[in-house]
Structure 1
Amino acid sequence: MSGQGVWLRARERGWRHCEMEAACVLQAAAYGKCVAATTAGRAELRKDACAKEFEALKECFTKA
């Protein structure tokens, strides 16, 4: 049994992830800024605090 097929599929998934990140860099940056601003100091991230930015990022990943 060869594990080569497993590694090829894993590598392909890795490339697709990189392509999605490159296509969605603006949305990822906006989400990251929102999370950083929301958790400034010792504040904890609240559920749905950055829901709008997360939805935009998720939509971009889905399209990519």
Structure 2
Amino acid sequence: MTTNTVSQSRSANRTPSALDNLRPLLLDVAVPLGSYYLFKNAFGASRPRSPSPDTSRKVTSE
């Protein structure tokens, strides 16, 4: 029983690192963003691009 109390008090005294503090934020951003790009092409969720005008031909009036 004493061993558990000592190990718990050591972990309670440890200060969290920057990664420990930012991990929830990174997950909140990375999971939706990664899912969007993963499923965008798989299910065709992106809008089709409109054809660009042909700029190689020059229109001349006669």
TM-score, length-scaled by structure 1: 0.39
> TM-score under structure 2 normalisation?
0.40
Give the structure, 1 or 2, with the largest relative contact order (CA under 8 Å, sep 6 or more).
1
Q: Which has the larger radius of gyration?
A: 2
